[in-house]
Amino acid sequence: LLREKHRLICHDAGFVDAAVARDFEIAHAGAVALCGQTPDAIAAELKERGIAIGAVVANDVFPNMPLPIEEVALETLRQSIEALLIFPYRLTQLLLPPMKRARRGTFVFVTSARQLQPEPGFSVATAVRAGTTAFALALAKEAAPCGIQVNVVAPNYLYSEAYYPRARFIDDPAGRREIAGKVPMGRLGEPREVGELIEFLVSGRSPFTTGQVLNFTGGWP
């Protein structure tokens, strides 16, 4: 996004620490780190700084511990819903009206492709991510008459230290064989590749593309 000269306004839980936010801005020249930690605080900070948002990339996270359904604490489920569905829902409520008035804008929700082939132990992530995908599709229908695009990128087998750490799945030959046995492309996806897809979706180069779920999975399942 920075390479293509987008003005990048970023939110992260770590930015509550001013030093972390400053280091991020230094490492990513041109990006702005917001300190707000709730949708309402983010919207208020944007207003205070005089920043108008033309595109939203919602890439929300919540720690996932695989457990059988009967062992999942309801509080864990509630926290996951709060982080992965309610947070982007509320942020959308706040950022959508100016886009409607301008009759342009873009939303990209990064969710998950897990619902295509649910796995034992991942009921929370599978259910909640699917809910966010469904919300995005509902938003796409409502926002389309105002010229607003809404799409979903649904990854699985994307390299990250949280889900597919390098030491196990890239550096270890046994891990690479495990991935090759599941993913037709024979490898994990790379962050820069999903970044290219997201940049295209927010670029405005294909404004007729909306309400789509793009599975970033290397051909899986």
190 has pLDDT over 90 = yes
Give the helix/strand (H/E) hosting 127.
helix 123-143
Average pLDDT for 185-199: 98
User: Mean pLDDT across the stretch 110-135?
Assistant: 97
**What are the residue boundaries of the structural domains of the chain, listed by start?**
1-51, 54-216
Q: What does the pLDDT average to over 182-199?
A: 98
Q: Please report the beta strands in 111-192, taking only residues with DSSP state E, as ranges in sequence order.
A: 148-155
Q: Is 101 exposed, middle or buried (0-12, 13-18, 19+ CB in 10 A)?
A: exposed
Using the Cα atoms of residue 115, residue 209, residue 95 and residue 138 in order, give the sign of their dihedral: negative
pTM score of the predicted model:
0.96
Superfamily grouping for domain 54-216: NAD(P)-binding Rossmann-like Domain (3.40.50.720)
Give the CA distances from residue 217 to residues 34, 47, 63, 113, in Å, rounded to whole numbers and listed in that order: 31, 37, 21, 8
Confidence of residue 184 (pLDDT cuts 50, 70, 90): very high
Place of tokens 């919207």: 43
The pLDDT mean for the chain works out to: 97
pLDDT over 90 (residue 143): yes
